[in-house]
Amino acid sequence: MSKQITYSPAYTLVPTYECFNRCTYCNFRVAPDQDDWLTLEKAEKILQKLQHQSICEILILSGEVHPQSSRRKAWFQRIYDLCQLALSLGFLPHTNVGPLSFTEMETLKTVNVSMGLMVEQISPKLLQTVHNYAPSKRPELRLQQLEWAGKLKIPFTTGLLLGIGETLKDCWETLDVISQIHHRWHHIQEVILQPHSPGQKQTLITPAFNYHQLPEIIAKAKEILPESITLQIPPNLITEPQCLLDCLAAGARDLGGIGPKDEVNPDYPHHTHQGLINLLATNGWQLVPRLPIYPQYDSWLSSSLQFAVNSWRIRTGNLKSLNQTFRTCFKT
């Protein structure tokens, strides 16, 4: 029997690229008031075209409107409405839009099957460098989100960004804090290990993270984190096929959401679906689709969300059929 590597058949909706943070490595951000927000009408047309293509997860990924901005309420409402729209059309939403208030998280829980936020790194020294103009990247604020997600019983994804000025010791400390929070609430589904990959829009002048270090980091992460947390790596940011296989051999078991475009790293297109299947097969791995919520968390959802998830679990019961269907809509 072949070993399984999972991924989520996903599509990303971006309510807005505007963001009040100015992280020097960012290739996503547009300055505040310089971006037209995604309308519900346009989103509906996009989602309708995706129906019957076996796209399961709709990732709502947004730049951040300042918590004190007069437009914060409208921004949050747009995010909520997009989640509700995705649900109404048969998709499963997963939201990652930066730090939220407890009330905002509680509200989004009603229209999301899971949520996420990267911790990145907890080292305060980064506030003097890459996060010097990024108020919402304060470590205590990001870790508070993980705590609140646990209290609210929200299945959660978090992760580390590698190559932004941290040391390996910083990485181990960040993983250790994530582990401690998970032990309190048992809510973290996945930890992403994401190598910084330079793009055309960033202002930071630094080489890409040496992804050949990833197998070592993955092996150490497996020692620090509980076995119940899945380690995720982004395959489009590991451009050497053998290194990707080495990462899986070291213990990574998920490739994240894969769709037409990586909005955070637009300069790095995803592998073709068949290309990934062929590559993994050389090492005895099978590529298997999954939902954005892991089965052990289904009971945390409202009855209406449980119904939506269960419908997808029935569909994904035939993995061969789902994979075949998804190949037809995997364009990049």
Rounded Cα distance between 268 and 33, Å, is 27
Q: Give per-residue pLDDT as tens, 259-288.
A: 999 999 999 999 888 999 999 999 999 999
Which residues pair with residue 61 across a beta bridge? 96
Q: Which domain holds residue 61?
A: 3-327
Q: What is the DSSP letter of 16?
A: -
Q: Give per-residue pLDDT as tens, 42-77.
A: 999 999 999 988 899 999 999 999 999 999 999 999
Sign of the four-CA dihedral 297, 303, 309, 311: positive
- For residue 187, give the CATH number of its domain: 3.20.20.70
Place of tokens 């009855």: 303
Rounded Cα distance between 105 and 56, Å, is 22
Phi and psi at residue 130, in whole multiples of 5°? -65, -25
Contact 97, 64 (CB under 8 A): yes
Q: Give per-residue pLDDT as tens, 100-111.
A: 999 999 999 999
Mean pLDDT of 290-304: 97
Of 46-60, 135-149, 316-330, the poorest mean pLDDT is in 316-330
Domain annotation covers residue 113: yes
How far does the chain reach from its first CA to its final CA, in angstroms? 29
pTM: 0.94
**Structural domain total, the chain:** 1
Model pLDDT, residue 1: 52
pLDDT of residue 318 exceeding 70, the answer is: no
Which of the two residues, 197 and 332, has the higher pLDDT score?
197
Domain annotation covers residue 332: no
